[in-house]
Structure 1
Amino acid sequence: MVDPSRMPVVTMRDGRGLHVRVVGKGMPVLLLPGLGMSSMLWLPFVWPFAHRYRFILPDFRGFGRSSHLAIERDDVFESHAMDVRDVIAHLGLRDFLLGGISLGGTTALHMNHRAGLDGVRAYLHVEQSPCVGNRLGWRYGLFGERQDTCFDEFRVFAGLLGQYPEARELTDLPPSERARAAESLARIAAWTFGTPRLEAPLRRFFLLPTFLAGRFPLSLRDARTYIAAYLAGGHDYRSSLRNLAMPVTLMIGMKSTPYPYPGQMAIAESAPNVRVVRFERSGHLPLFEEPAKFVRELGRFLEHGSRASSRTTNGLP
Structure 2
Amino acid sequence: MMMHAYGMDAREFLPFILPLMGKYEFYLPHFRGFGAAKDIELTQFDFVHQYAEDIDTVIEHICLRRHVESLPVAAISMGALVMWSYFERFGTARVSRYLNIDQSPVIHNQPDWQGGLFGDRQKERFAVFQEIVDRTLPYAHVEHFTHLPFSLKRHVTDVERLFSLLSVSRPRSKAVVQALTHQNDHKLAFYNHQTWQHKMRCLQAYLAIPYDFRAVIENVTIPVVSLIGGQSKLYDPNWQQEITCMLPNARDVILPRSGHAVPMDEPIGFHKVLKKFCENDLRVATKKRLSKVAFLGDAAKFKS
TM-score w.r.t. the length of structure 1 is: 0.80
Give the drift of 1:206.
Answer: 7.3
Tell which deviates more after alignment, 118-127 or 181-190: 181-190
Mapping of 1:1-317 within 5 angstroms? 30-91=1-62, 92=64, 94-193=69-168, 204-205=182-183, 209=187, 212-214=190-192, 216=193, 218-220=195-197, 222-304=198-280, 308-309=290-291
Tell which deviates more after alignment, 173-182 or 278-287: 173-182
Instruction: State the SS of the aligned residue for 2:27.
Output: strand
Paired with 1:43 and 1:179, the residues of 2 have a C-alpha distance of 31
Contact 1:130-1:263 within 8 A present in 2 as well: no
Instruction: State the SS of the aligned residue for 1:257.
Output: coil
Aligned pair in 2 of structure 1 residues 188, 211: CA closer, same or farther (>3 Å)?
farther
Identity %: 29
TM-score w.r.t. the length of structure 2 is: 0.83
Query: 1:4 is matched with which residue?
Result: none
Aligned pair in 2 of structure 1 residues 241, 188: CA closer, same or farther (>3 Å)?
same
Tell which deviates more after alignment, 226-235 or 300-309: 300-309
Give the drift of 1:52.
Answer: 2.2
Paired with 1:203 and 1:97, the residues of 2 have a C-alpha distance of 33
Contact 1:182-1:207 within 8 A present in 2 as well: no
In the alignment, structure 1 segments of 5+ residues that lack a partner are 1-29, 311-317
Aligned pair in 2 of structure 1 residues 210, 124: CA closer, same or farther (>3 Å)?
same
Question: RMSD across aligned C-alpha pairs, in angstroms?
Answer: 2.7
In the alignment, structure 2 segments of 5+ residues that lack a partner are 283-288, 293-304
Paired with 1:132 and 1:118, the residues of 2 have a C-alpha distance of 25
Paired with 2:184 and 2:169, the residues of 1 have a C-alpha distance of 18
Instruction: State the SS of the aligned residue for 1:118.
Output: coil
Instruction: State the SS of the aligned residue for 1:123.
Output: strand
Give the drift of 1:86.
Answer: 1.2
Tell which deviates more after alignment, 155-164 or 177-186: 177-186
Instruction: State the SS of the aligned residue for 1:55.
Output: coil
Instruction: State the SS of the aligned residue for 2:115.
Output: coil
Contact 1:33-1:103 within 8 A present in 2 as well: yes
More strand by share: 1
Give the drift of 1:302.
Answer: 1.4
Of structures 1 and 2, the one with the larger relative CO (CA 8 A, separation 6+) is 2
Residue 211 of structure 2 aligns with an amino acid whose one-letter code is: H
Give the drift of 1:170.
Answer: 2.8
Q: Describe the superposition over 1:133-169 as per-residue Cα deviations: whole angstroms up to 9, x where unpaired.
A: 1121211111111111011111110111122231234
Contact 1:32-1:105 within 8 A present in 2 as well: yes
Corresponding pairs, count: 279
Tell which deviates more after alignment, 174-183 or 146-155: 174-183
Instruction: State the SS of the aligned residue for 1:89.
Output: helix
